[in-house]
Amino acid sequence: MKKSVKKVVLAYSGGLDTSVILKWLQDEYQCEVVTFTADIGQGEEVEPARKKAISLGIKPENVFIENLEEEFVRDFVFPMFRANAIYEGEYLLGTSIARPLIAKRQAEIAKLVGADGVSHGATGKGNDQVRFEMGYLGIDSNLIIIAPWREWDLNSREKLLKYAEEHGIEIDKKGKKSPYSMDANLLHISYEGGILEDPWAEPEDDMWRWTVSPENAPDEAEYIEITYKNGDPIAIGDKKLSPAEILRELNRLGGKHGIGRTDIVENRFVGMKSRGAYETPGGTILLKSHRAIESICLDREEAHLKDELMPRYAKLIYNGFWFSPEREMLQSAIDKTQENVEGVVRLKLYKGNISVVGRKSEKSLFNSDYSTFEEDEVYNQKDAEGFIKLNALRFIIEGKARRK
């Protein structure tokens, strides 16, 4: 049974899928459509989406285009990197972390314009449908959610193009279309489909958009310094930058040196495995540098407990639970650990590799008086004997029992 809805806010890019969805919503639901286009650093012009939406009958006052780059990095990417979050050992969650922000703002716009519904272009096979809809429901559970890919039979590019032609939807056919399904934001760009559906096939080198191949990267290493405060980067070299500016500059540096390419087969929340390739140059640098500054600022047990919590935290983000109380609880614990994480990390970038070559902090717990291999006056090495015996006491008792 079709839902009854009067006004719908659509997450709109202006591309083939969402342009077809816009027209389909108008025809199938006979509803007023409001478009929302978020600029989160995808590297493409977003203003053409305004012209496209208006050409499809959307009132100018119902076209929302907003630059959310700073909010994206400050309130979503940086909190995630405080946790050193990485899914299944390799994925830096570039797409996963963008969806809660889009869903949040989409739901806010729905309230602003008095809409009773929201819609997205995620398919019924992927994770994004979960991420979007968990976000909507977390903000306003009264919103009616329309997911066209779970309703229509336009399940191929050919069918979408035919629908567009039949309904007068203008589609830009200039240039060669990429064989991959791509998603980009300021943190990463992802590639799926095409030859990547064969996990044995190597991606063509011309697929990559942001990074040079390590073989073609400069033959000379480049040194950079990143300054941290409360677990977040605040400067590169001697230049203080905003969150988005920092990530953009690290993307440039990482891309120049062939850093941040990954090729992964991951386990989707819906149950199937998916092969994807990702470019996350700035994020890869941030993960390495953040762990480096933590290594001198965090207590051992604090750091180890953080590492134990991280996979659960990463899984929550991957599966769309950003607005859950358990993620917020973990975030509070993580943020508490970051109060004294400050200082400078020096990194060496060279042909796809990142080497930590220095770290310093006024709040460092590294004390050379204790750790030196030279003579010292603060540590009695004889104390280690009792420490070892106490830790081995249960082995000693068990060994005696077994020998009886």
Residues with catalytic roles: 17, 99, 128, 181
- Measured distance CA(85)–CA(312) in Å, rounded: 9
- Measured CA distances, 2 to 123, 147, 153 (Å): 18, 12, 15
Residue with tokens 């990530």: 247
Let me know: does 191 contact 207? Beta carbons within 8 Å. yes
End-to-end CA distance of the chain: 75
User: Which strands make up the sheet holding 261-267, listed edge to edge?
Assistant: 181-184, 189-192, 273-279, 261-267
Strand pairing of 343-350 and 273-279?
unpaired
Give phi and psi for 293, each to the nearest 5: -70, -35
A 10 A CB-CB count for 264 gives: 16
Give phi and psi for 117, each to the nearest 5: -145, 160
Residue with tokens 């249960």: 394
Which residues share a beta bridge with 223? 348
